Structure 1
């Protein structure tokens, strides 16, 4: 699997529309980010460094902005009605996507990692 379209095509049809909506939104709003599939999940990078990734489970869409991003937005995640772990937030399939929160996470990571020369934060 090499493209986002191939990834989306192979996931459960019940989850496909939501995942496509989120991936299209990122591509449209952050055209400078490079989409890729790694570790069997879609993610976006900027100058070779990880910015955000997504994955699916039976009950939710997972958004992974790295632990620093989760810590930075923990209160906002709860306010949006989502829960989170150290590395990701969970958006239940039946809940709307808070695109404003997603935008803030992406912009934060882009700014925080502007001088980062590695894929992951050190």
Structure 2
């Protein structure tokens, strides 16, 4: 997880930084075979060279980007958890709980759906 250190050091709010570390550590622990990297100024996890999920931090929330198809697949879950969302990402406010079960299902979906993908993004 050293690859994320420089990114994490730029998060000024210590509580927000700890929350992001907690989430990234959780992903790494649950999905140890995923590769880690920082691209487009965001920590991300990949599998066999294809994008699985990315994270970024804004002042009041953490954005989680699993790609558009996955956003469509889980839109009702985002609504049920009161997470705001767009076409390619959803937001978890720093005062909201992280639904780790949902996050796990999103990552599992992307790993399975992209198992034969040969490009970084879905075509």
Common topology (TM > 0.5)? yes
Shift in Å, 1:15: 1.4
User: What is the distance in 2 between the residues matched to 1:72 and 1:59?
Assistant: 25
User: What is the distance in 2 between the residues matched to 1:71 and 1:59?
Assistant: 24
Deviations 1:28-53 (Å, cap 9, x if unpaired)?
Answer: 00000001000110000000000000
In the alignment, which residue of structure 1 is the partner of 2:84?
Answer: 83
TM-score by length of 2: 0.95
Gapped regions of structure 2 (runs ≥ 5): none
TM-score by length of 1: 0.96
Deviations 1:47-96 (Å, cap 9, x if unpaired)?
Answer: 00000000000121000000011100000011111110001000011001
Shift in Å, 1:14: 3.4
Please identify runs of 4+ aligned residues in structure 1 that moved more than 3 A: none
Q: How many aligned positions are there?
A: 121
User: What is the distance in 2 between the residues matched to 1:67 and 1:116?
Assistant: 15
In the alignment, which residue of structure 2 is the partner of 1:7?
Answer: 7
CA RMSD of aligned residues (A): 1.0
